[in-house]
Structure 1
């Protein structure tokens, strides 16, 4: 049997201890009452502009929905005026684009999808994809009517213009350039400096890269100057050039040169400009011009 005297020994307290126990229970009960009575939740803050913000956000969300659900509009174009970048986006190779550009240099035009394929040598599958986008002039579809209208046209005689002698832009001096209206000492110096950096121009399109030339001045330059001889410059060996050498090429700069070296080390040598164009931030619109400065 358990000795009750030994147990009751633990429940003997002094007067001060009993008072402390009573006060402790009183405090616990008081805290419990405060917990259930007092609301400790944090009041939600409101702003005067909240409703205005919500309405603006709702309008933005609705506009996003309209944008994502919108069907893209398809624009037709005349394939005679396809640029390098446009042809690349359509899936044409550099050789196919060059065939069309050389055909146009002879002042000739394609007037049907079939003629376009005969000139560019594109595949039937690619033609089937892009030909619905072609838009040829109305007169090409009704040549008989056009010839009749032409016969009724009375030709007027105009005084002959003085023939413009074309100069090679790579042979032009500062004095030759300053003869163009709108080009002074500063602009002519920039053009010659750009030629020096590149080793020579390969396309008149490169005039657009010279800062400060207005569209009117560019037109005059193309009227008086052409690329008559390809300059003899040292090409960049794209598969062997160092990061420093690539970074010094005006069309690359350091960031793109670093990506080229990284891509080359991970995927092997570049075979053509199409491989190089796969790199992020590569200036695809200048791919044809850049390829003339590279050696694969």
Structure 2
């Protein structure tokens, strides 16, 4: 009992502390019951709120635009199914475009595109700023039809005498052919120089990088090989490996296979028999045959 009583015995300093604590509790309880802590109603300015909301909406719109896939300039003649869908075209509109291109026809203006696809004015307005047509469509040369006005349907093929010499044609003359610009004309002249200053045959025009079959056809309707420098041709049945590798598209491996095939056949009877040679570049045979001859004696 004496031990328990000792827990309730306080010093003067402790009693003072307890008194102060009780006094603080009483004061705080009084403040809680008698003081109104409710704040005044917050007044919202409608104009400021509307302005703030407009700024937030503007930032959201900018973010949405930045997250959209970027569209780069493109030629509408080469729109694929996927590209058309991403631009907002319907399957019918895409089918009309693809059917038109299968006829080997070209769209050369925004008006042509709408006429073929029948897209709406609103969709056309969003797409057309990204259309990029070739330079010869958007910036046709003034003298484009001055001399070589070529028409696939109306012009008859010219005779050999009516054509100019492909070995003396200039870059300026070549640029008057539909489809040949500054770069292609320079490539033709550079290739002619590379092979010794003159073409041996018209077929060599196929070796110029970037010339499509249509452009080659137009070119050969106006020009042909006439004045040819003498070319030393190799006898296919006697040429050595070292001689054969001097011909374009024939390397040492192919030359070795040619010698093997020649031995098996006991001599070639025709230049076309080269197509039977292992790894022979068949697509280039017409070029290779220009530098070969065949002595059957």
Q: TM class by shorter-chain length? A: 0.3 to 0.5
Question: Normalization by structure 2: what TM-score?
Answer: 0.37
Question: Normalization by structure 1: what TM-score?
Answer: 0.37
Q: Relative contact order (alpha carbons < 8 A, sep ≥ 6): 1 or 2 greater?
A: 1
Over alpha carbons, which structure has the higher Rg?
Answer: 2
